[in-house]
Structure 1
Amino acid sequence: MSVTDVVQTRDPDRLLPVDPATRDIARALYQRVADAPIVSPHGHVPAEWLARDVAFADPTALLVTHDHYVTRLLHASGVDLGDLGVGGAAVDPREAWRTFAERWHLFAGTASGHWIEDELHSVLGIDTPLSAATADAVYDTVQRRLGEPGFRPRALFERFRIDVLATTDDPLDDLQYHSAITDSGLSGRVLPTFRPDRYLDPDAVEFSTDLERLLSATGQPTTFAGYLEALRDRRAYFIAHGATSADHGIEDPATVDMSDTEAQYLFHDIVSGRATASQRAAFRGHMLVRMAGMSAEDGLVMTIHAGVVRNHSTATLRQFGPDTGHDFPRQTDFVRGLRPLLERHGLSYSLHLVLFAVDETVYSREIAPMASFYPSVYIGAPWWFLDAPDAMLRFRSAVTESAGFSRGSGFIDDTRAFLSIPARHDTARRVDAAFLARLVREGRLTESAATAVIDDIVGPQPRRVFKL
């Protein structure tokens, strides 16, 4: 079967309101920003892809294996993760693709299904519905596309109209790929992001080794003062290479303030291995306060992604490693958890603290009210399990009445799935147009005000929040 045998046209008004009058307003708002450049201040696309510009290997590696949204749902339906190539397992990519195509119906109504349809149609030019019958034909067409110069990472970067793309990087990374990109003449900016979690958490698997590496690389002694100076040194290195933010992925947003003397004694117990579980938790919480202080000093935006229990399935972790689809949301407490940090730094205008949650209840109860008072606090866009159309609408309803639009981060795609970036931003723009159109129809916002809002949130707003 040829991929042209069956053609399915995508609805140009997808995700817009059903009511005709509201849809007309939403359509006009969406069309204003549909082709606006993409500003992506937090994501996980490896800089190496854009520096080396090597063609993507195959459709399975590109769209299935590394997308935990896809692999987790296939796994739930009875597919072994190893059969999808997860964790580096050797597979026949065509067979894995067939497995995916045979179960494509599982993704009906899901955000990942919406994104992949958009990738196949808008990026790869395929209008054929995916199924067991079309699996091989679609695979062959995608494979041919990936061999063409126009489908290499740099060409796609230009085609996607990406103006800013931030990566996520280890503090000891030499950032050679970022330097290569800067020197290559790529039209947009690719910025590193300082991600220090493994150097701040005493419970991290290789914390002791990583701490030694950090101190050795910066020439600092094994003291708390030396440790802080080492982190400042690496932050300065990142800033010199274009970084504008530091990211913190934590389960519990609890923070602890303490004196320099208390912190020095605690650090000594951490290094010596004598620290109890409660002391290690206190150290984690205190280092978030210290990181906020450094951000207030050096200007790096501080983002906190909280509330995810990582590696929930021990058996899956042992067999396939981390980041393989078994991380789950939990309840979080930002108000009490972050109070020590905000007591110290919350009133600082130089600190930009962007809070991301996967617990929907905290948006209206905690994050939006905090952002409507603290000048340092901004509302992170819907993240992970919440970056889907209906959840995005719920998010807008939850935060707008107390914090308005100005206290948000702008849309954040937070993805490694490079081809999904334009689909994710397009989804956010359609949802925001739909939400604003409803406010206009209900007489709560004028059309001119809605126009000003949607123009702002796709570009100027994330630039302000992330100091771009």
Structure 2
Amino acid sequence: MRATTGQFARRLLPTDTLTGDIAAELLARIEDAPLISPHSHVDARLLASNTQFRDPAELLVTGDHYLTRLLHACGVDLDRLGVGRPDADPRQVWRVVCSYWHVFAGTATGYWMAEELAGVFGIREELSARTADDVYDIIQQHLGMEAFRPRALFERFKIDVLATTDDPLDDLEDHARLQADGFRVLPTFRPDRLLDPEAPDFAESVNRLLATTSTAATFGGYLSALEQRRQYFISHGGVSADHGVFDTWTADLSPMEAESLFARVLSGTGDTNEIRLFRAHMLFQMARMSVDDGLVMTLHPGVYRNHSSATLSRYGANTGHDLPVTTTFVEGLRPLLERFGLERDFHLVLFTVDETTFSRELAPLAGFYPSIYIGAPWWFLDAPDAIGRFRAAVTETAGFYRGSGFIDDTRAFLSIPARHNTARRADAAFLARLVADGRVSMAAAEHIIEDLVDSIPKKAFKL
């Protein structure tokens, strides 16, 4: 049975009449509000060049590791999906996806794709082997239109601000060009490869940093070079520094200890414990720099990167084999919070892919430290049901106002409005239940739902 337009409009809202009507009323207040995206992985070059999207496979499949990983699990070789194969036939890639589309039933990926096809292209036909070519042709026809170039879609999506995630040595010319043209696309300082001695070419990267900033090859010079690059990002509109780390261990070392440790890891002679200690101290230093220069510090820990060495070797990173691990915050962050946790203008946004920490650690931390904000459900937890679990886990301890607002955290540009709409619907549903239960007044819920998409992310990210 095909869903009616009315059913489609009420998707993700409670099915009982009372709560569903409340949720629909709340959603109506913010469904078309501008999008604030303070953390994404959209490449600024996409918008700066404004080049026409080539085909549906490139646009919706090849770079979306959410989608390709499940197909790989179902026995589809990544080669057949065009991963690492620029010569792959895009129509054949699309046919493969459509023939396996039934495996995405109930997944966030399936929901987002349906939202994208309906919202961007007006396609509500179920994907299948039978419909693959017709849907491909409709999308391809649209991609040839001026209205479907990246900048036109940026405006159509009503994106108020979009923050990208950028290499610390990027010249940021694309951002300067976009801002000159009136697009609020902000760079985010992502220094992981300069802070982790186990990163590929760590010493080479650090030496390039020192050469770029004309600083000495000492720990003090290294810190000064990082500070200079942060200032460069700030001068180009940057508001945050993002850190993708394995764990949240932090350590405060003396200048002498740090200098000696820096020399060992830079020369490649540091052992496993020293490497971990260096990472911990640099996380501490990044917090110190955020206190000094005002950049919001966002922390994305708890991911085992490149779990499949064979896949990494054949296809590279970000191809679907990153996996969540158990993550803790309270003990590891204590040295950092002892020094900086009560600083008035320090903002530390904590994300997790371990949802057991929401009520046990993140909500209590954000419920005390004025510097801590709870990052929105991220990666494996950004699905509709997981967003509801997140709200239930953190709200009773930290309320609604100690969060970051929704974060789409996506490379898939076309999925941004779908992801934000998902979060808005999930929040409307959660608030509606509180209203129906008599726990929150309708007036308060209306105020909260508007703040969740506007003042809350603006405050957390100093926008």
TM > 0.5 between the two?
Answer: yes
2:230 equivalent in structure 1? 235
Match of 2:8 among 11, 16, 22: 11
Which portions of structure 1, spanning 4 or more consecutive aligned residues, are displaced by more than 4 angstroms? Answer: 6-10
Question: Which digits, 9 at most, give the CA deviation of each residue in 1:171-227, with x for residues without a partner?
Answer: 1000010011011233xx100000000000011111011001000000001000000
Gaps (5+ residues) in structure 2?
none
CA distance in 2, matches of 1:285, 1:60: 41
Task: Report if aligned partners of 2:303, 2:325 keep a CA contact under 8 Å in 1.
Answer: yes
CA distance in 1, matches of 2:456, 2:209: 35
2:239 equivalent in structure 1? 244
* Correspondence 1:38 to 2:18: no
Taking a change above 3 Å as real, the CA distance of residues 24 and 293 of structure 1, as seen in their structure-2 partners, is same
Task: Report if aligned partners of 2:203, 2:267 keep a CA contact under 8 Å in 1.
Answer: no
- Write out aligned runs for 1:143-292 (5 A): 143-186=140-183, 189-292=184-287
SS for the counterpart of 1:336 is coil
- Write out aligned runs for 1:396-411 (5 A): 396-411=391-406
Question: Which digits, 9 at most, give the CA deviation of each residue in 1:48-73, with x for residues without a partner?
Answer: 01111001111011111111111011
CA distance in 2, matches of 1:219, 1:52: 31
* Bigger mean CA offset, 266-275 vs 387-396: 266-275
2:407 equivalent in structure 1? 412
CA distance in 1, matches of 2:256, 2:16: 63
Match of 1:443 among 438, 443, 448: 438
Task: Report if aligned partners of 1:201, 1:207 keep a CA contact under 8 Å in 2.
Answer: yes
Question: Which digits, 9 at most, give the CA deviation of each residue in 1:15-53, with x for residues without a partner?
Answer: 001111001110000000000000000001110011110
CA distance in 2, matches of 1:274, 1:98: 50
1:63 equivalent in structure 2? 60
CA distance in 2, matches of 1:455, 1:136: 41
Letter in 2 for 1:250: V
CA distance in 2, matches of 1:289, 1:88: 41
The alignment-based identity, stated in percent, is 61
CA distance in 2, matches of 1:185, 1:388: 32
User: Displacement of 1:127 after TM fit?
Assistant: 2.2
Taking a change above 3 Å as real, the CA distance of residues 26 and 154 of structure 1, as seen in their structure-2 partners, is same
Match of 2:326 among 322, 325, 331: 331
* Bigger mean CA offset, 123-132 vs 399-408: 123-132
Letter in 2 for 1:84: L
CA distance in 1, matches of 2:244, 2:81: 27
SS for the counterpart of 1:95 is helix
2:20 equivalent in structure 1? 23
Question: Which digits, 9 at most, give the CA deviation of each residue in 1:328-374, with x for residues without a partner?
Answer: 00101101111111111111111100000000000000011000011
* Correspondence 1:346 to 2:341: yes
Gaps (5+ residues) in structure 1?
1-5
CA distance in 2, matches of 1:234, 1:114: 39
CA distance in 1, matches of 2:404, 2:354: 17
Task: Report if aligned partners of 1:8, 1:127 keep a CA contact under 8 Å in 2.
Answer: no
SS for the counterpart of 1:231 is helix
1:101 equivalent in structure 2? 98
What's the Cα RMSD here? Answer: 1.0
SS for the counterpart of 2:330 is helix
2:131 equivalent in structure 1? 134
SS for the counterpart of 1:251 is coil
1:359 equivalent in structure 2? 354
CA distance in 1, matches of 2:20, 2:70: 32
Letter in 1 for 2:311: T
User: Displacement of 1:428 after TM fit?
Assistant: 0.4
Match of 2:370 among 370, 375, 378: 375
Task: Report if aligned partners of 1:169, 1:193 keep a CA contact under 8 Å in 2.
Answer: yes
Number of residues of Structure 1 aligned to a counterpart in Structure 2: 461
Task: Report if aligned partners of 2:12, 2:425 keep a CA contact under 8 Å in 1.
Answer: yes
CA distance in 2, matches of 1:56, 1:227: 40
* Bigger mean CA offset, 58-67 vs 86-95: 86-95
* Correspondence 1:424 to 2:419: yes
1:3 equivalent in structure 2? none
Match of 1:47 among 40, 44, 47: 44
2:295 equivalent in structure 1? 300
Letter in 1 for 2:16: D
User: Displacement of 1:262 after TM fit?
Assistant: 1.0
Letter in 1 for 2:295: L
User: Displacement of 1:89 after TM fit?
Assistant: 5.2
User: Displacement of 1:8 after TM fit?
Assistant: 6.8
User: Displacement of 1:273 after TM fit?
Assistant: 2.1
